Amino acid sequence: MTKSSAMHYCPAILISAPASGQGKTTITAALAYYHLQQNRKVRVFKTGPDFIDPQILSFACEQPVYQLDLWMMGEAHCREMLYNAAADADIILIEGVMGLFDGDSSSADLAQTLGVPVAVVIDAGGMAQTFAAVGYGLAHYRANLPFAGVIANKVGSSSHAKLLEEALPESMPLLAAMAKDEAVGLPSRHLGLLQADEIGDLDLRLARAAESLSSFAPCRLPEPVAFVPITTTPPPQLLAGKLIAVARDAAFSFIYQANLDCLQAMGAELTFFSPLADHVLPEADSIYLPGGYPELHLKALADNVAMKQALHAHHRAGKPIYAECGGFLYLLESLTDKDGNSAEMAGLLPGSAQMQKRLVNLGMHSLQLEQGEIRGHSFHHSQLETTLQPFTASNPQRNRSSSENFYRVGSLQTSYLHHYFPFNLQVADGFFL
């Protein structure tokens, strides 16, 4: 067991808002891009189990972006992630989720537990002095919430920004103000924003957003936060000598960077392949099919018969396959998009899935397997029909969410769940052995 002894200090803020849709991701990405242009090393984190926003944020800061969630990851692991980032970063930005106090493990909970001050993004369009009232209410709704200040979004002019700043109490600074500009918005679809690779002018959008963010006043660097030393244990080399082939392309891109790091820390070597473009599998011991958007690539996946045959051969050889959500859908006999277009998938599992116009399941889940508990989340718009009998089922964190079935067919393990591997290394190891 090893223990770090030095306290790390680094400017840090958690960027939240009164509600979703206020521009948190755009502001966070713009701040990251702005500070990067000032020759600062920027580390960015995303609150909650999100895959899409981190792609945008990673593009903006030119660093991997990791998730932070007290329930899914545990407090100690969250502290470890921030402590390690603070060792060499010039600034840490954490994008919140939903509204500041929303959810069972809210952005406010994270900020208060980890001691990171909150910066609230408020859509100031059509607003004057009430802007200050909203900010003041958020800052004082909960006692002892660390609060850095407010960020104004969709500001009409420099005089509008001045009006907003003058309305704020002295204890609540205006940290930044972004002008109203449709050219800096980020396009979206049913699961959230478009992926970074799908936004052809993302660099121009972020550059314009960063310029807009500093046009009314210089962006203030947050105050340093003390990140306490943490105790770590080197992970057991449970996957030493194993080669894991990970699907990664436009159809399969929903994967925690921490999961990849975890597999490598346990001794595995990773190689990547594309079910869309490649016709052969790498010579690997195991396969990892993460989530994504297979429903947007039905024809390409259906037409790649060679890849489907390679997956069948891998499975017949008794080699492990682990698939999550979109990867799970790809292994079914067929998949139908929301417009009614159907296509044949890999056919390793009996059944089909149909995309729905509304969300089918959402929430945090725990799963109990032989090696113990692992945690993750569910977020999908598809409805499954299968004769396959589940091996077990998850336990939803909240009553409003439905449990998810977990399936085993020989060496193939799959479900709708996106698991967070570092929560239990033994369970993660069991997916690939």
**33 Cβ contact partners less than 8 Å away, ≥ 6 residues apart:** 60, 61, 206, 207, 209, 210
Question: Where are the domain boundaries for CATH 3.40.50.300 in the chain?
Answer: 2-227
Which residue is it, tokens 């924003």? 193
Question: Where are the domain boundaries for CATH 3.40.50.880 in the chain?
Answer: 236-430
> 418: which DSSP letter?
E
* Domain 2-227 CATH class label: alpha beta
Domain 236-430 belongs in CATH node 3.40.50.880? yes
DSSP string of 26-64?
Answer: HHHHHHHHHHHHTT--EEEEEESS-SHHHHHHHHHHTS-
Output the pLDDT for position 102.
94
Give just the sign of the alpha carbon dihedral 276, 247, 95, 210. negative
Q: Out of 10, 61, 219, 325, which one is annotated catalytic?
A: 325
**53 Cβ contact partners less than 8 Å away, ≥ 6 residues apart:** 25, 46, 95, 192, 193
Give yes or no for a contact between 42 and 61, defined as CB atoms under 8 angstroms apart: yes
Q: What is the pLDDT of residues 82-129, one digit of tens each?
A: 999 999 999 999 999 999 999 888 999 999 999 999 999 999 999 999
Output the pLDDT for position 187.
60
Which residue is it, tokens 């990867």? 327
Q: Rounded distance, CA 260 to CA 246, Å?
A: 9
Output the pLDDT for position 197.
67
Catalytic, 325? Answer yes
pTM of the shown model: 0.93
**Mean pLDDT of each 10-residue bin along the chain, 433 residues long:** 71 96 91 93 95 90 96 95 96 96 92 97 94 97 96 93 94 91 64 63 83 80 91 90 97 96 98 98 97 96 98 98 98 97 98 95 96 96 96 91 95 98 97 97
Q: Rounded distance, CA 108 to CA 115, Å?
A: 10
Q: Rounded distance, CA 394 to CA 369, Å?
A: 10
**Gap between the terminal Cα atoms of the chain:** 26
Q: Between vectors from CA 205 to CA 204 and to CA 206, what angle results, nearest 5°?
A: 95
Pick from 19, 43, 17: which is nearest to 222 by CA? 43
Output the pLDDT for position 1.
38
> Residue 172, by phi and psi: left (phi above 0), alpha (psi -120 to 50) or beta?
beta
Helix (H) or strand (E) holding 100: none
> 387: which DSSP letter?
-
